[in-house]
Structure 1
């Protein structure tokens, strides 16, 4: 198993259908937000708002809006990635989490600084302000889709949650994105198109991280894990000739004593001990070949042990 080359990863990302659709939607929203959708942004920004108390304002600011902030979403993703990495002895969850954080931050903040859109409280939805605006696209909208979506994907990938729960979690992510959008528009933190473009950017980054995961061969990052087994455990492992081979192999019987008779010698020459090797070098040794073939022991007709063994996932 080897790492795919950079051009192979790039080709997989550029040829992925959902990623192409999301990238096209993001470019289209960026163009529409530059002028054709100004009337939508102006409508939501100038819509009459009821008077709210200071306590309600603080609740909305540090409640529904803060759930999608990077100060909440990134630590949540980090905790899940660390747990999965430790449980499955793999760097893959940490690599995917870091790729998502770096990729989305680069995309969102790069466009924020490049386009420099005015803040909604200026009532000017145009791009290229005098260095004061960083409204487009919304980082909160991208966080809600990217970080929480990646958490659900990792838990689903390692089969820690059932499919009905996955569906409920996806509904929860959509609810977080919708509520955060409503709160940001109400409090004039973002233009409406900022939030829509941010959610599309989050979905695009999430899709590219999934493509990256699928291009890395299974089990590749497990070999890097330094705390999997120590030197003593390595010495207890079976020899390479036996490891990974589940076929029944006869083990030679001990040599008969010199003073044994011909009948004893013939009986010991016919005797065979069957060994059933399993994954970690443990074996079941016994002289019950007849019982294994007559009484339905977990041995198939081609001599393969059918016992249970743990399934590794990376």
Structure 2
């Protein structure tokens, strides 16, 4: 059985996008600030600054503060707070959201979006890490192109922060699916968006306090996650109408 993708109950919903003219103007400004070109330029500027004038500041701030403030909090920070934005937690959540929506809509598209989000993280963010080859904080060398995956393993691929990127990209993709492929209310979507913000802040603060990343790594991670999320959202908004018109492949209905 193939679901009618044009039916009102199953049509993609733009929760949180409609509103008063004032809200529309605010969203237009926000869309410009978070557009792919804006995020790409900002990320490039962060890389340039981090590779040059910001290195002394990165060195000064990389103090592994939690070891100094309260070492007893380290197990909780490392094993609980830091893992919220790790692959072992965020990826199953995204896949679970995508699977539930895919089954409800009888469409593979939510799973495709989840797969592309993970691909963006592995190939996009991971590729940047390998190419930029920056060592971790406890090597005390914030230069780029000086470490590398083959020379130092995971210690040589610090920029951008993977956890900060995942917090924005993977959790952001889950919220996008809920907002645009379900009947979620504007209020629920706003709450979920703030949850993503909280998870991102948690990832940045914890990584900074433990001393696993340079400050510029964390800023770059947030921007990189936002960039790949924006690219994914823009692609889906362009491709979705064409996919519906051509009749997308659908998940067979359960018996």
Matched-pair contact (CA < 8 Å) for 1:91–1:221: no
Q: Is structure 2 residue 45 aligned with structure 1 residue 22?
A: no
Q: Is structure 2 residue 81 aligned with structure 1 residue 64?
A: yes
User: 1:47–1:110: structure 2 CA closer, same or farther, 3 Å change rule?
Assistant: closer
Q: Is structure 2 residue 181 aligned with structure 1 residue 158?
A: yes
User: 1:226–1:149: structure 2 CA closer, same or farther, 3 Å change rule?
Assistant: closer
SS in 2 for 1:203: helix
CA distance in 1, matches of 2:252, 2:193: 34
1:137 aligned residue (154, 157, 160): 160
Matched-pair contact (CA < 8 Å) for 1:181–1:195: yes
Matched-pair contact (CA < 8 Å) for 2:164–2:222: yes
Structure 2 gap ranges (5+): 1-30
1:94 aligned residue (111, 134, 137): 111
What is the aligned partner in structure 2 of residue 77 from structure 1?
94
SS in 2 for 1:114: helix
What is the aligned partner in structure 2 of residue 39 from structure 1?
56
Task: State how many pairs are aligned.
Answer: 213
Q: CA deviation at 1:150?
A: 0.8
Matched-pair contact (CA < 8 Å) for 2:64–2:211: no
Matched-pair contact (CA < 8 Å) for 2:102–2:251: no
User: 1:52–1:226: structure 2 CA closer, same or farther, 3 Å change rule?
Assistant: closer
1:128 aligned residue (145, 156, 163): 145
Q: TM-score, normalised by structure 2?
A: 0.78
Which one has a larger percent helix, Structure 1 or Structure 2?
2
What is the aligned partner in structure 1 of residue 134 from structure 2?
117
SS in 2 for 1:125: coil
What is the aligned partner in structure 2 of residue 225 from structure 1?
250
Larger Rg: 1
Q: TM-score, normalised by structure 1?
A: 0.64
Matched-pair contact (CA < 8 Å) for 1:89–1:222: no
- Work out which structure has the larger RCO, using CA pairs closer than 8 Å and 6 or more positions apart in sequence: 2
What is the aligned partner in structure 2 of residue 52 from structure 1?
71
Matched-pair contact (CA < 8 Å) for 2:101–2:110: yes
Matched-pair contact (CA < 8 Å) for 1:91–1:222: no
Task: Give the CA RMSD over aligned residues.
Answer: 2.0
User: 1:125–1:135: structure 2 CA closer, same or farther, 3 Å change rule?
Assistant: same
Structure 1 moving runs of 4+ over 6 Å: none
Q: CA deviation at 1:210?
A: 0.8
Q: CA deviation at 1:82?
A: 0.7
User: 1:164–1:117: structure 2 CA closer, same or farther, 3 Å change rule?
Assistant: same
